[in-house]
Amino acid sequence: MDTSDRAPMVRNALREADVISVAVTEEENSNIMTELEDACAVSSNLSEAHTLMSFLKCNIGTGMLSMPVVLKYCGLWTGFFLIFVAGVISAYLMHVIVRTARSVVERHNLDRSKMDYTETVFSVFKYGPVPFRKSKGKIKHMVNAFLIVVQIGCLCVYLLFLTENIRYFVRSFLPDQPQNFYLIGFLVTLLLIPLCWSLDMRILARLSLIANIATMIGTILVLAYLLTAGLQPYNTFPAYTNFQNLLIGFSIVIFAFEGIGMVLPIENKMAHPRGYTDLSGVLNVGMVVVVCVCASVGFFGFLNAGDNAQGSITLTIPERPFWFAPIKPLFIFAILVSYLVQYYIPAIIFARLMEKLRCHREASEKRRFIHIKTMRVSLVLFTYLMVITIPKLDLMISLVGAWSSSVLAFVLPSVLEVVHLWSERHLLKYFWLKVVVKDVLFIVIGVIAFVGGTVATVMQLIQSLQSTPTFE
């Protein structure tokens, strides 16, 4: 998932949420917002072609690269089928959130350009049934909290991805030398600290463009490898494994499809937004492409790697023949840039929240500067701490998917539709069947993914660390 395109959503959430007070001067505040606008590189009045490219960038990344391990956990045909089912449900719920946002805007004459995910949730509860109106602020803060968890969770996934891929890349050329996982992760962290300390977002905006090109080339090379590499017979793999592994696989899949937060900001930038949700519109075409790419990478990647499938397909692609050698460096560069862009958002959030602390607010400029820099370094070190705590890329992705993506992509859109349409329930035919029963089903799926996916992932992590306690 390209994080540069997620920034508008989080920026709007930051600007509107009550929890954010002034942590910097007005001039610095303006500069930060300008830099974020430049880094996002999402201009207004986008054509459908440009909108489709932005949509694809949001949904193709580390999640797509992890699809082979989904089939390993779930079983060949169960995992393959699960990718399509999760993709269809995700696409439908994206339509739900867009439809709900449009209805709220038209019904209450709101500004469409400000209707991101967080603002849609706030508006639905603000104008919804009276008992829900009092909780609009709390719900908004909860959504912001989940968005922050997703941001930091993605940082952890990216750092773990960088560590694993660098380790495997070095191993290919220096097989006789030890490649310590923790040491490589620490060295990557030491590299990230000065970059996160001072790198300008305008520089990142240009690097992000190059990273998008690197991702595109890397994806093409991955597909080329899978179509030319030898595949194992499909009948040698089980069609289904067990329920615990199914929960882990499902959590990984919904992490890959968790682009729902960017659906509204992308639509708001379109010159003709009504075509966004047409049958052959950007949303449907984009999800068809994403699901097909994920299913192809998952199916052929698993038949190629088999039980050796790992948290990223890049870990099982050899450096020879030489034309496949650039795959790891391309994705390493792309994910490194994604880390830096993604890092900027929680860093701004925490810098502003620090202003609520009296010891920081009333400190001298020099001490405030030290506090901010310490926070930035601590945030990078926290991601490294999470990496050494959960040193399995597939399980890290599963945990982030279970904890946040399940709520943002399944539970909240369903809740919003019921709350928004509740006042019209007597006017809608088969309201209880077509709205309530359907949305309750999606909420149950989301809750099962949240609770069951978390428990299953933690159990698998404990079992995995007991069997492989060290990394050489």
**pLDDT mean by block of 10 residues, the chain; 472 residues:** 48 43 40 46 66 81 94 97 96 93 89 83 90 87 87 94 93 78 94 84 81 92 90 93 96 88 80 83 92 95 94 90 89 93 84 83 84 91 95 95 90 94 85 91 96 96 78 56
Q: How many Å apart are CA 79 and CA 72, to the nearest integer? A: 8
Among residues 230, 246, 247, which one has the least CA distance to residue 76?
Answer: 246
What does the alpha-carbon distance between residue 8 and residue 10 come to, in Å, rounded to a whole number? Answer: 6
CATH of range 3-467; options 1.10.1760, 3.20.20, 1.20.1740, 1.10.3470: 1.20.1740
- pLDDT confidence of residue 443: 96
CA dihedral in degrees (83, 143, 404, 347; nearest 10)? 120
Please give the backbone phi and psi of residue 270, each rounded to the nearest 5 degrees, phi first: -80, 145
Q: What is the predicted pLDDT for the residue at 469?
A: 55
The predicted pLDDT at position 471 comes to: 56
Q: Residue 128's pLDDT is what?
A: 87
Q: What is the pLDDT of residue 172?
A: 82
Would you list the domain boundaries of the chain?
3-467
* C-alpha–C-alpha distance, residues 82 and 249, integer Å: 9
Straight-line distance from the first to the last Cα atom of the chain, in angstroms, rounded to the nearest whole number: 30
pLDDT value of position 199? 66
Phi first, then psi, for residue 46 (nearest 5°) are: -75, 145
- Confidence at residue 472, expressed as pLDDT on a 0 to 100 scale: 55
